[in-house]
Amino acid sequence: MARVYIALAPGDGIGPEIMDATIALFRAAGVLDHAEFIPVEMGKAIFDKGNTRGITDEAVRTIEDCGVLFKGPMETPKGGGGKSINVTLRKLFSTYANFRVFKTLPGVQTVYSKAGIHLDFSIVRENIEDTYGGVEHRLTSDMIQCKRLISAPGCDEVHRFAFQTARALGLKKIHCGHKANIMKMSDGLFLDRFKFAAKDFPEIDTGDVIVDALCMNLVVKPQQYQMIVLPNLQGDIVSDLAAGLVGGLGFAPSANIGKHISIFEAVHGTAPDIAGKGVANPTSLILSGLMMLRHVGLLRQAATIENALLAALETGLHTGDFGDPTLPGYSKEPATTEQFVQGIIDKLGSQPSAVPSVNVPEQATPTLTHAPRPSSQQVIRTFVNIMAHVAGCDVYLDSPLTPTTLAHEMNQMATDTPFRLSLISNRGTQVWPSGSVYTECVDYYRVRFELRDGLVPGSIGQSRAIALLDKIAEKFTVCSYELLRTFDGVRGYSMAQGQ
């Protein structure tokens, strides 16, 4: 009999309780006839041992061997240097696409369900890049920097996943959420690659929406969306907003999809205040588990469990954090975690009556296959054979000088070099050669040098820019440096506000 092996991390706080309940439901539905769950160590207990990664080497190897991780909520350490285990796992295993589905559930009362509006849409979030690289530095006494990294291959991976998923689900339209009106290069790239990917899926309509307008639209008329794809940070925020529309994070499943490894998890908190009391709501983890079962090929089991869940919710079954008293059979006494799952088990083989049932496929054995293990980290690329030429450099300085005084010093530095001082900005706003006396400045400047008139990009190399940087560093504190280049003749750097 075909079997699939799944790494299992119960989680912290209420994690072990809702995981035990979910596995009990899976056992009753016959999932364990085809799936074996292998426990791995990660989370709070590992952080407490001084492991800042929050996961053991043995756990990493097990997850790599299985190719699938099912995990409960994990606690992020407060202080001490340890980073979020959730983010670490997503980045460590290159699970580049986060996929969440937001659907109205019977018995879960929201302003939309009260209005008779049924919601059913999904969000695909880029999962690795953006500010979640966590690349931060203190540059001066008053300035902190966080680098936002957006790559063309990273965009291509998440957009292709979104379109392929939309096609498989029969969706008619995808929106790209972005902030390309302000971050014209980073979000601009994300939007451009979305449009490029769309060319291979002509049957799917596309649209794009600025993320702040998207948030308003989701509150005012969420039913207008079928799927939205977003960069990492924006996707994180919008995903939680969307969860609020259907009742909260306790009703929102989450899948993190990669080429080799995928992670299915509850994204709500560990709720330490109710841990051990047996009253936690396992719905989110169950729904994430159903995404996992479909991912590995156990389609019939997933559909059977989902229909049972819907049928049980219709009867008024609820834990203490939700419940619709207008439903028939509603009890003011909430179910325990164990009773909630038992109520679903009792409905296995049943179908809901008030909402559409899920089609139950015949496929009931694993179909998951593993790609060969890479021999080393792979370098992924989108643009190749691009001609890049040096056009200047941006030098970032820690300085208390006024812009006019700093400009005088920098013009002297540029004497007898191929570069001219073209711009000084502060917090992204131009303060020299033009600007306003009302623009407040902090102790961190961007000083831009570009090629002098008569010189063209490609006529000099990076070494001349480094020589200028060395000259400036003899007198000023250089916080960082960025080479300015053109790519196939197109400027590869942004203008300043007010330039």
Long-range contacts, stretch 403-407, CB < 8 angstroms, 24+ apart: 403/431, 403/432, 403/435, 403/441, 403/445, 404/432, 406/432, 406/445, 406/447, 407/432, 407/433
Is there a contact between 122 and 102 (Cβ–Cβ < 8 Å)?
yes
Enter the tokens of residue 87.
């983010």
Q: Kindly report whether the peptide bond that precedes residue 433 is cis, defined as omega within 30 degrees of 0.
A: yes
Region of poorest pLDDT, from 8-17, 47-56, 206-215: 47-56
Residues 447-498: tens digit of each pLDDT: 999 999 999 999 999 999 999 999 999 999 999 999 999 999 999 999 887 7
DSSP, residue by residue, 134-176: --EEE-SSS-EEE--B--HHHHHHHHHHHHHHHHHHT--EEEE
With contact defined as beta carbons under 8 Å apart, do 154 and 93 qualify? Answer: no
Residue 174: C-alpha distances to residues 201, 208, 386, 421 (Å): 11, 8, 30, 45
Q: What's the mean per-residue pLDDT of the chain? A: 94
Decide if 131 contacts 148 (C-beta within 8 A): yes
Question: What's the token pair of residue 344?
Answer: 């679903």
- The β-bridge partners of 42 are 55
Give the separation between CA 103 and CA 227, rounded to whole angstroms: 12
Q: How confident is the model at residue 413 (pLDDT cuts 50, 70, 90)?
A: very high
Amino acid at 143: M
Closest CA to 390 of 495, 492, 460, 482: 460
Cβ-Cβ contacts under 8 Å for 90 (sequence gap 6 or more): 98, 127, 128, 256, 263
pLDDT digits (tens, 9 = 90+) for 65-124: 999 999 999 987 765 556 788 889 999 999 999 999 999 999 999 999 999 999 999 999
Q: What is d(CA 344, CA 312) in angstroms, rounded to the nearest whole number?
A: 6
**Does residue 434 surpass a pLDDT of 70?**
yes
Opening angle at CA 26, ends 3 and 316, nearest 5: 160
Q: Which domains can be identified in the chain, with CATH numbers?
A: 4-345 (3.40.718.10), 388-491 (3.30.70.1570)
With 60 as the cut, is the pLDDT of residue 285 above it? yes
Percent above pLDDT 70 for the chain: 98
pLDDT in tens, 135-180: 999 999 999 999 999 999 999 999 999 999 999 999 999 999 999 9
d(CA 248, CA 251): 6
Separation CA 297–CA 277 (nearest Å): 34
Percent of the chain whose predicted confidence (pLDDT) is above 90: 89
55 pLDDT higher than 70 = yes
Output the CA torsion 375→379→385→388 (10° steps).
-140
| Secondary structure of residue 323 in the 3-state scheme | coil
In whole angstroms, give the CA distance from residue 343 to residue 28.
12
Res 331: pLDDT: 67
| Span 390-406, average pLDDT | 97
Q: Which of 317, 302, 224 lies closest to 264 in space, CA to CA?
A: 302
Tell me what pLDDT residue 80 has: 56
Which tokens belong to 336? 């325990």
pTM listed for this prediction: 0.94
Interacting residues of 368 by C-beta distance below 8 A, sequence separation 6+ = 4, 67, 68, 295, 296, 297
447: which DSSP letter? E
pLDDT at 368 over 80: yes
| Residue 346 DSSP SS3 | coil
Quote the tokens at residue 305. Answer: 């469990």
- Tokens representing 489 are 């003749």
Please give the pLDDT value at position 496: 83
Q: Please give the pLDDT value at position 314.
A: 93
Question: What is the rounded distance in angstroms from the CA atom of residue 30 to the CA atom of residue 410?
Answer: 73
CA atoms within 13 A on the CB side of 17: 20
